A and B are shown apart, each in its own frame.
Chain A
Amino acid sequence: MTRTNIALLVLIACVAALPLFGDAYAMRLGTMACMYAIFALSWNIVGGFAGYPSFATAAFFGLGAYTTGILMNKGVPLSVSLLGALVLCLVLAAALGAVLLRLRGHYFAIASLSLVEVFRELVNNATDLTGGGMGLNIPLVSGSSVLSDATFFFYAMWGLLLLTALVVIAVSASKLGFGLNCIRQNETASNMVGLNSTLYKAVAFGLSACFVGAAGGLYAAWVHYIDPSDVFDILYSVKPIVMALMGGLGSPLGVVCGAFVYLGLEEVVWRNYIQIHSGVLGVLIILLLLFLPHGLISLHASKIWRGLFGRKAKHV
C-alpha cells in the first residue's frame, strides 16, 4: 500500500472523531462531507483511473435513493435495502457501461449526462411505484433523539466511505487498476496487447456506480422524502468532477481532500453570499482550471513559496 493510500485511510479515521467535537448540525455537515467523498472516490475510478469523463453520478445516486426508498416502503430493513441498491447499481452500471463506454470523449460525456435525464423521467412517470412528481416518503429508521439519529447516519455514511476507500485502494493496487491506467493512456494499444478493455471498463463503471447508489439510499433514509428533481440533480454529477479536479485527478487522497475542501467552501459561500453563491462557485471553478489544473495535490511547498515571494526555485 502506497503512502498516499495510507494517508487517505488516516484522514478518514480522523474524520470519524467528528461526533466528539460537533453538535447535530456539524454531524450533518460531516455526513455530507462523507457523501461527497464517496462521490469523488467513485467518480475517480472511471474518470481518473480510466480517463472517461462520466456525468452519470447523479443517475445512480437517484437510482439508489429510489430503490432503497421503495424497498423500505415494502418493509425491507435499511441494511438489506442498501445492499439491494448497491447490487442493482453495480449490475446495471456494468451492463450500461459495456455499451456506453465504447464512446469516447465528448460523446461519452453526453451519453452519461443523458442517463441522468432518462432515469429521472422514467422515475417521474412511474407514478404508481415512485410517486412520480409527488415524491416518495421513506419511513423513519430510528425514532429516537435528534442526536442519536444524526450520529447514526454520520457513522453509516462514514462506514460506506471507508468501504469505498478500501475498494478503491484495492482496485488501484490490482490488475484492474493497472489495466484501467493502460486504457487511459492508450486504449488502442491496450486492446492490441490483449487487454479486454470492454470488461475492464464495464467493471469500472459498475464500481463507480454501486457506492454512489448506496450513498443515495442512505441519503433517502436520512431525509425521509425524495422527489425526482432533488436526487437526479445534474449538480450531483458536476460536483464530484470539480472536487476531483480540485484535489488532483487520479489520486484517491487528492479527490477526498478535494471533496472536503469543496464542502467547506460551499458552506462558507452559501452562508455569506446568498444571492450570488452559484456565481462564486463558477468563479472558483474557473480559477481552479486556469491556475491549478492538476489540483491541490500538485501544490508543492516550494511552489507556494515562489507564488508568495517570487523567488526562484532551487530546482526545476
Chain B
Amino acid sequence: MLAIQVLINALVLGCLYACIAIGFSLVWGVLNVINLIHGSFIVLGAYLAWGAYNALGLSPWYSLLIAAPSFFVFGYLLQRLLLNRVITAPVLVTLTLTFGLDLILNNAMIYYFKADYRKLILNPPTGSVSIFDVVVPVDRLIATASALALTFLLYLLLRRSKVGRAIVAVRLDRDAAVLMGVNVKSIYAVAFGLGAALAGCAGVLMALIFPISPLTSSAYLGKAFVVCVLGGLGSVSGALAGGLLLALVEGVGSVYLGPAHAVTLSFVLLIIFLVVRPQGLLGRKGFE
C-alpha cells in the first residue's frame, strides 16, 4: 500500500534527518550560534568514511570511531580560537563569520576532492528487505539504527555525565551556571566540539546512503535548519520530532503535490512555525 510505504520511508528518513540536525541543534541551543559550517562538517565526515573504505578497506563503523574524536578536536579548537572572540557579538556577526568559515572549508574540499559526486559502494551490497508489500533498503535501516544509537548516546551524555550536565546548565541559564562554578568558556568549546563530532558521525552514516560531494552541504544545512525550528532547539527529542515531522511533510507532499512542491512546502511550514510557534514542537527551556 502506497500510504504505508510512504509512512515507513518517512520514519526511516526522519531519523536520518534528526541525526543530521542534532549537532546543529546543540550548538544553536547552547551557544546561541547558528553554525553554518555544519553542512560542510557532514560532508567532510562522509569523505572520511569514503576515503577510509576505499583506501584502507575500513568499514564505516571504524570511521565512526575515527570521526568522533577528530571532529571533536577540530570543533573545540575552532570555537576556542576563533568563534569565542565573537561569541558576545550580535547575531549578524556570528552568522557571517560561520558563513565565511564555511566558504573556506567548502572551497578547500572542492579543491582537494573535486566537485564530482562519489558513492560509497558497499561490497557486497546490502540490498533491501520486504515485509508484506513494504520495501525498506537495508543500508538505510543500518544508518537509521546507528543514528538512533548516536542520539541515545548523546542523551545519556547530557543527562548522566558531569560535562553533559554542565552543558545543559549553560543552556538553561548562563549566568547561573557561572555562579555555580561552571567554566562557561570551556563548556562552549566542548559543546561546539560535540556538535562537530555529531556532524562528522552523521556524515559517515550519510555516506552509506547519499552521494558525497561538497555541493550537498547546503542541502544538509537546509534540512538541519528546518528540523531545528520544527522540533525545538537544543534537545534530542526535539531533533527527533522535527526530523520525523519534516520527513512526513516531504513524503506526503511529494505524493499529493508533486516532488517539486514538497520542498516549497517544507519552507512554508518553517515560516509558519517561526511565526506561530518559534520554540518548535517540543521546545521548552528545560531538560530534554
Contacts and interface: CB of A to CB of B under 8 A. Distances in A.
B93 A110 contact: no
B15 to A, nearest CB: 23
Given A125-B260, A283-B104, A276 B93 contact: no
A298 interface: no
A290 interface: yes
Residue among B91, B92, B222 with the most chain A CB within 10 A? B92
B53 interface: no
Given A117-B222, A125-B264, A286-B82, A276 B111 contact: yes
B111 A118 contact: no
Contacts of A284: 100
Contacts of B263: 117, 121
B278 A107 contact: yes
Contacts of A124: 260
A279 interface: yes
A297 to B, nearest CB: 16
Residue among A53, A275, A282, A283 with the most chain B CB within 10 A? A282
B96 A242 contact: yes
B91 A282 contact: no
A166 B148 CA distance: 57
A167 to B, nearest CB: 23
Contact of A111 (B89, B97, B264, B271): B271
Interface in A66-110: 99-100, 102-103, 105-107, 109-110
A26 B146 CA distance: 56
B270 interface: yes
B260 A110 contact: no
A182 B274 CA distance: 25
Contacts of B96: 238, 241-242, 245, 285, 289
A117 B267 contact: yes
Residue among B99, B101, B261, B263 with the most chain A CB within 10 A? B99
A110 B275 contact: no
A58 to B, nearest CB: 14
A278 interface: yes
Interface in A113-141: 113-115, 117-118, 121-122, 124-125
B95 interface: yes
Interface residues of B, number: 38
Contacts of A238: 96, 99
Contacts of A278: 103, 106-107
Nearest to B218: A234
A110 B100 contact: no
A249 to B, nearest CB: 8
A99 B275 contact: yes
Interface string B88-118: 0111110111011111101110010000000
B32 interface: yes
Given A117-B222, A285-B99, A125 B93 contact: no
Closest 3 CB pairs of A and B: A285-B100, A282-B103, A279-B107
Given A99-B275, A284-B100, 20 more contacts: A103-B274, A103-B275, A106-B91, A107-B229, A107-B278, A109-B34, A110-B270, A110-B274, A113-B225, A118-B264, A118-B267, A118-B268, A241-B92, A242-B96, A275-B111, A281-B100, A282-B101, A282-B102, A285-B100, A289-B89
Interface of A: 47, 53, 99-100, 102-103, 105-107, 109-111, 113-115, 117-118, 121-122, 124-125, 238, 241-242, 245, 275-279, 281-286, 289-290, 293
Interface of B: 28, 32, 34, 82, 85-86, 89-93, 95-97, 99-104, 106-108, 111, 222, 225, 229, 260-261, 263-264, 267-268, 270-271, 274-275, 278
27 contacts: A47-B92, A53-B90, A100-B271, A100-B275, A103-B274, A103-B278, A106-B28, A106-B34, A107-B278, A109-B95, A110-B270, A117-B264, A117-B267, A121-B264, A125-B264, A242-B96, A275-B111, A276-B107, A278-B106, A279-B103, A279-B107, A283-B100, A284-B100, A286-B82, A289-B86, A289-B100, A290-B82
